[in-house]
Amino acid sequence: MKSELRMNAIVELNDGLGAVFAAGGSFPFGLFGAVIGAVALGFFALWQSESNDDDDSSPGGGLMQPVS
């Protein structure tokens, strides 16, 4: 009898989650999240400072030299 109750609870849980997922599927949250993420990445890229982050601390071009 206890195993029967457990199986019924699992079936009811699956039905409940399926109903929640089915109701939430009417709006494309994946597309909405991707657009929000792209906008946030764009703002992050625009607000970055253009400071020199090379190890040689000179703002000219050129290759970094290996440490010997």
Whether residue 52 lies inside any domain: the answer is no
Query: Given this model, what pLDDT does residue 5 score?
Result: 47
Q: What stretch of H or E contains 24? A: helix 2-24
Q: Which domain holds residue 32?
A: 2-43
Is 25 inside any structural domain? yes
Rounded CA Rg of the chain:
27
Task: For residue 41, name the pLDDT band (cuts at 50, 70, 90).
Answer: very high
Tokens encoding 56:
């040689």
pLDDT tens across 5-37, in order?
444 545 555 555 555 555 555 567 778 888 999
Q: Is residue 14 part of a domain?
A: yes
Domain contains 24: yes
41-64 mean pLDDT: 70
- Collapsing DSSP to helix, strand or coil, 36 comes out as helix
pLDDT at 47: 85
Domain count, the chain: 1
Query: What single letter denotes the amino acid at residue 5?
Result: L
| Of residues 54, 34, 50, the one with CA closest to residue 42 | 34
The reply to whether 17 falls in a domain is yes
**Is residue 39 scored above 70 in pLDDT?**
yes
